């Protein structure tokens, strides 16, 4: 199956419909339909398109990985209690990996080793609106232990998130400090890595975000920072690149 991002949700598209959509991009609607009916299959352009479709089919059958690098500070600069982490960005990295298995995703959080005495407080994520965070099961694997809250919460003007991992006060008696990791397995029906690539809802001042985190003990050690990421997952780059290539083929054929 192949994902297409929409404003409201992520839709799964069957390979045949996806093939027709790419054919329309390459040839225009009329010739795209002819392509689907088999009447343009022997043209050089059709062979190129078929190759691209096979590549997409291969990509769709493989494990999906979504990586979020928390690389910018969206804290209120006028707040004297705010200061960016001292380390080089990205300060925090979150990796969702479904391993090619539907219904199970491994979340790995890595806090950069050069963040000094700073610690991770909360990390916020979103979920496919067709799914419910309350139906997911979070299983601790290794590293720092968190309290998982699936009731939803807001993050400093960045909007409403579906769930967050709370590392303070530390449930395991230890803080999530520089150079450390936290790994959880998340399970649920219909879940894959792309289930976590959605924007927060109802943002107030800092705009919608795919993920957000609060870092404590920044600056002089008494300050904090809100950091986030507005990424385009790797599969979206691949999809966009292919569409651009197909568009180039279309212009060349005119």
Residue 72 and residue 53 share a domain: no
Cα dist from 19 to 5, 94, 234, 240, whole Å: 17, 32, 20, 15
Claim to verify: residue 21 and residue 46 sit in the same structural domain: yes
pTM for this model (two decimals): 0.68
Domain-located, residue 89: yes
Final residue in a domain of this structure, among 42, 61, 80: 61
Of 39, 61, 83, the residue that ends a domain is: 61
Cα-to-chain-centroid distance, residue 16: 26
First to last CA, the chain: 32
The C-alpha atoms of residue 165 and residue 228 are separated, in whole angstroms, by 15
**Total domains, the chain:** 2
- Could you tell me if 223 and 186 lie in one domain? yes
Express each pLDDT in 177-203 by its tens digit.
Answer: 999 999 999 999 999 999 999 999 988
pLDDT per position as a tens digit, 49-86: 555 555 554 444 568 999 999 998 989 878 899 999 98
86 within a domain of the structure (yes/no): yes
- Read off φ and ψ for residue 32, nearest 5 degrees: -60, -40
Place of tokens 């083929």: 249
């Amino acid at each position: 199956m192949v994902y297409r991002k929409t404003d409201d949700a992520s839709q799964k598209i069957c390979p045949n419909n996806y093939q027709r959509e790419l054919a329309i991009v390459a040839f225009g609607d009329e010739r795209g339909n002819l392509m689907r009916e088999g009447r343009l299959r022997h043209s050089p352009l059709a062979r190129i398109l078929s190759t691209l479709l096979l590549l997409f089919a291969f990509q769709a059958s493989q494990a999906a990985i979504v990586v979020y690098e928390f690389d910018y500070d969206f804290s209120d600069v006028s707040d004297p209690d705010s200061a960016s982490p001292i380390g080089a960005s990205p300060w925090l990295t979150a990796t969702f990996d479904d391993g090619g298995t539907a219904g199970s995703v491994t979340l790995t959080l890595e806090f950069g080793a050069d963040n000094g005495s700073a610690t991770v407080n909360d990390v916020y994520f979103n979920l496919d609106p067709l799914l419910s965070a309350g139906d997911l099961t979070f299983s601790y694997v290794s590293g720092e232990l968190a309290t998982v809250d699936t009731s939803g919460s807001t993050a400093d003007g960045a909007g409403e998130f579906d769930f967050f991992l709370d590392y303070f006060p530390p449930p395991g008696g230890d803080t999530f400090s520089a150079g450390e990791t936290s790994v959880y397995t998340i399970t649920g029906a219909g879940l894959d890595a792309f289930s976590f690539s959605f924007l927060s809802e109802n943002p107030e001042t800092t705009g919608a975000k795919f993920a957000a985190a609060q870092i404590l003990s920044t600056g002089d050690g008494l300050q904090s920072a809100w950091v986030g990421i507005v990424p385009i997952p790797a599969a979206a780059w691949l999809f966009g690149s292919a569409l651009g290539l197909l568009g180039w083929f279309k212009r060349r054929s005119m």
